[in-house]
Every structure is written in structure tokens, then in C-alpha cells.
Amino acid sequence: MPALNETHDLNLTSWVASANDAQSDFPIQNLPFAVFRRQGSDEAFRGGVAIGDQIVDLAAAKDVGVFSGLAQTAAEACAAPTLNEFMGMGSEAWSALRLALSQALRSGSDAEAKLSACLVAQADAEYDLPCTIGDYTDFYTSVFHATAVGSLFRPDNPLLPNYKWVPIGYHGRSSSIDVSGQTFHRPKGQTKAPDATEPSFGPCKRLDYELEMGIYIGKGTELGDVIALDDADDHIFGMCLFNDWSARDIQAWEYQPLGPFLAKNFASTVSPWIVTTEALAPYRTAWSRDENDPQPLPYLESEQNRNEGAFDIQLEVLLESEKMRAEGQAPAKLSESSFVHSYWTVAQMVAHHTVNGCNMKPGDFFGSGTQSGPQHDEAGSLLELTRGGKEPLTLENGETRTFLEDGDAVIMRGFCAKDGAARIGFGEVVGTVLPAKA
């Protein structure tokens, strides 16, 4: 498990002035990774690190003599169009580059003159997926979400008996994952109204978002290998924000007996920045299981996971309608939640996913499942907030929503903050719904 070190020092400041803003998502204590290029250019995409409102261009920085040893080797890997090679190098390389960047970006650093020429303003950048995502597994780790959705789909049996024993997941569609700014057409498919004798085909009428965390695998494993619970952090590169769009009416008709299919594979959106597990170390916290619930089987149980398995990440969802954009209105906040409520930890997801010998590759991706809190207004989807579409939401400008309409943009944000540690953030993930294709 990543330990606190000098990179987490609350008193560190940077010669990049914008990083010293107390409300910045990207202070020197964060240093998340992305893949970018200058907007509208034909430059190659390459790795970068956020500092304040700037990006350290690692393809340029590797040539100015700021790094050495393992940090230099890691920086060279980050000059590629994807971060897969760097992610596969493991935690020693990740930490070496992060430390070197922290030292070079600190106030008073001798590297300022060299590194300042390697900065690109985030306002001038466009992003790609940070890595090639070979496989994507979506988990279902919020017991509050699982219970609320189960009560809508299965009123007599909302929470299936395996939920509290097994970190439930399904194999998703990696090819339809895209980076923030994604636009997609409203999906079509089969739906069946409760009073209909047969299904019909057409555009989804109950389009929804899902507020999730995304988890990137770094160092991989061979087929047949198992990642023990307390070794999971050696394989988890970092986390991002994740919107796993859902077509609820298609889902209701197709999900039994094999689970999600067309209701989930038409689009999913990730935030561009990956916040490393090392940067998140100050925000690890105790994880617990209600004493009245089944306790985890031995391969999912450890003192370390109990003490520091959870991450205290605050999350929020906002909606910007076409009308709001046209009239210059601010997006409307729909809900707030926290990843700390997750019923299963990230380490438990990794341990369970590999316990049968399933191999992992650098860049493999997990969705946490919708992160809903215990209160109704902490729900991570419209399905929950509108109680299955029966209670429309009234937005601040007077518009109402049961589910998403064409032109709606959903914005998700996340951050960590507590006394004694620097506030760090994830930026945001934005996606916009287009009308169904003719």
C-alpha cells in the first residue's frame, strides 16, 4: 500500500502559481497523468502531468535533463501515444517519476528554467484515452444503489443473496469507452412496456447516467496468476471519474438471464486525468462491514483492507440542458455522494477478479458501479432520483427531468479534502446526448 512520503507534504508549493490555489484540483501534491496534444493540432498524443492549470509535456521534459535513472526511463515511456508501457512498469517506476516531478516543480527548484518551457496550458489542450483499454469490467459495489435499483426491477427480491458475498461484475464493452467531451447518439433497441404483449423497437426513452469511479490496472499478471488482497495496490495504477451511460428501458427487457448488454455498450465516458493511488494515500480510510451482514471470505479479508481499504472521494453530478447552454445558465446540481460508501473495496475487486486465474494487462479498466449514498439525494443515477421515473426532478431553471433528453450534458466532478492534507481533485468528465440516428 503506498505510504505517505515527501510528495504529500501539505506545505509544498509550486513555481507554477496556479497550483497554489487552495481550490485547484491539481496542486503539487496530486500530479495526475493524462494523454494530450495541443487542441486542433496534428501533433502526436503523448503523456502529460497536470500542475495547476498547466500540463507538463513529458515528451518534451524527458529531453531537458531534469530526470535521471528510473524516473528518466519512466518519462521516456510516457512520451508514447498511450501510457500502457509506463503503467506496466509497476509502482517503483510510477513513484520514481512522481517524486522527480514533485521535486522539479517545487518552489525554488533549479529545474524551473528548463521545465517551464515544457508547459502547455490545459485550456489549449485536447485529450485522448490515457491508455489502450484492452478489457473492461463493470462492478456493482454500492449496496444502496443495488437495493434501490433492485426494488424497482424486483420489488419482492431487491437484493439477490450473492450480493453480500461476491463483488458482482460483468464484462463490458471497452471499444465504446471514450474520453471526456464524448458525444453519442441516443441508442436504439428493443423495449417492452409492462402492458404490451410484445416488445417494440426504437430509440431509448429512459436514458440515464451512472456516477462511477474508474480504476486502471497497471502491472499485469500471467494467466493463472492470482493477486492477493494485500498485493492489489502493486497492480492498481490509479483512478478517474467514470460515467457509464445506461438505457434503462432496454436494460429492463434484456437483463435477465445474462445481465447488461445493449443497454450498456453504446457509450461510456472517462475523465482524462488518472489520479495515482500514491496521490490518494492521504485519503485512504477504514473499511467496515455491518456485523449483521456476511463477513468476507478469507481471500477477501485482511487487517490492511479493514484499516485502509476505502477511499474518501467526494462526488457530484450536474446537468446542463440545451436551454441552459443557449441562455448562458450554470449547470444544475443533481446529487452529491462519496466513494467511501462502497460495499466492496478496490482491492477486493482486484482480488476477486483474479482469484480464478484471470490475467490482467496494463490498461485494463474497472468501473466501480454507480456510487449512491445512504440518503435519497445521494443517488448516483436518475433512475434512483426520480424513483423509476415516477417523481420528476424540477431543475433550477424550471425544466423537469425524469430521464435524459437530447442535448443534455452530464458533468461529474470529484475531489478529496480533509484537515492536514492538500485538497486534490479529478477534474471533470462531461458527455452529451445527441438525437438517435435516423
pLDDT in tens, 116-157: 999 999 999 999 999 999 999 999 999 999 999 888 878 888
Q: What is the pLDDT of residue 294?
A: 97
**344 and 425 belong to one structural domain:** yes
Q: How confident is the model at residue 41 (pLDDT cuts 50, 70, 90)?
A: very high
Percent of the chain whose pLDDT exceeds 70: 100
Q: What is the pLDDT of residue 218?
A: 98
Residue 1 confidence (pLDDT) above 80 = no
- Flag whether 72 is in a domain: yes
Could you tell me if 48 and 58 are in contact, meaning their C-beta atoms sit under 8 angstroms apart? Answer: yes
Could you tell me if 261 and 251 are in contact, meaning their C-beta atoms sit under 8 angstroms apart? Answer: no
Q: What is the pLDDT of residue 153?
A: 79
Q: How confident is the model at residue 265 (pLDDT cuts 50, 70, 90)?
A: very high
**CATH code of residue 172:** 3.90.850.10
Given 128, 150, 175, which residue is the final one in a domain?
A: 128
- Flag whether 1 is in a domain: no
For 280, the grid coordinates are 490518494
Cα–Cα distance measured from residue 162 to residue 148, given in angstroms and rounded to the nearest whole number? 16
Domain count, the chain: 2
- Flag whether 345 is in a domain: yes
Residue type at 181?
G
Could you tell me if 307 and 381 are in contact, meaning their C-beta atoms sit under 8 angstroms apart? Answer: no
Cα–Cα distance measured from residue 30 to residue 425, given in angstroms and rounded to the nearest whole number? 8
**Per-residue H/E/C for 35-46:** EEEECCCCCCCE
- Flag whether 81 is in a domain: yes
**Per-residue H/E/C for the chain:** CCCCCHHHCCCCCECCHHHHCCCCCCCCCCCCEEEEEECCCCCCCEEEEEECCEEEEHHHHCCCCCCCHHHHHHHHHHCCCCCHHHHHCCHHHHHHHHHHHHHHHECCCCCHHHHHHHEEEHHHEEEECCCCCCCEEEECCCHHHHHHHHHHHCCCCCCCCCCCCCCCEEECCHHHEEECCEEEECCEEEECCCCCCCCEEEECCCEECCEEEEEEECCCCCCCCCCCHHHHHHCEEEEEEEECCEEHHHHHHHCCCCCCCCCCCCCEEECCCEEECCCCHHHEECCCCCCCCCCCCHHHCCHHHHHHCEECCEEEEEEECHHHHHHCCCCEEEEEEEHHHCCCCHHHHHHHHHCCCCCCCCCCEEECCCCCCCCHHHCCCHHHHCCCCCCCEECCCCCEECCCCCCCEEEEEEEEEECCEEEEEEEEEEEEEECCCC
Domain range spanning residue 198? 136-434
Q: What is the pLDDT of residue 126?
A: 98
**82 and 151 belong to one structural domain:** no
**78 and 204 belong to one structural domain:** no
- Flag whether 293 is in a domain: yes
Cα–Cα distance measured from residue 59 to residue 46, given in angstroms and rounded to the nearest whole number? 6
Quick check: is 185 catalytic? no
Residue pLDDT, tens place only, 13-28: 999 999 999 999 999 9
Q: What is the mean predicted confidence (pLDDT) over 390-412? A: 97
Residue 60 confidence (pLDDT) above 80 = yes
- Flag whether 31 is in a domain: yes
Q: What is the pLDDT of residue 254?
A: 93
**244 and 382 belong to one structural domain:** yes
**169 and 96 belong to one structural domain:** no
**115 and 261 belong to one structural domain:** no
Residue pLDDT, tens place only, 321-361: 999 999 999 999 999 999 999 999 999 999 999 999 999 99
For 342, the grid coordinates are 462502497
Residue pLDDT, tens place only, 243-259: 999 999 999 999 889 88
**82 and 191 belong to one structural domain:** no
**66 and 151 belong to one structural domain:** no
**218 and 150 belong to one structural domain:** yes
Beta strands 421-434; 182-185: pairing state? parallel
Q: Which of 8, 145, 235, 353 is catalytic?
A: 145
- Flag whether 208 is in a domain: yes
Given 67, 101, 128, which residue is the final one in a domain?
A: 128
**375 and 258 belong to one structural domain:** yes
**212 and 63 belong to one structural domain:** no
Give 216: exposed, middle or buried? Use CB within 10 Å, 0-12, 13-18, 19+. buried
Q: What is the pLDDT of residue 157?
A: 82
- Flag whether 32 is in a domain: yes
Given 71, 101, 128, which residue is the final one in a domain?
A: 128
**214 and 324 belong to one structural domain:** yes
Q: How many CB atoms lie within 10 A of CB 428?
A: 17
**pTM of the predicted protein model:** 0.97
Q: What is the mean predicted confidence (pLDDT) over 275-302? A: 97
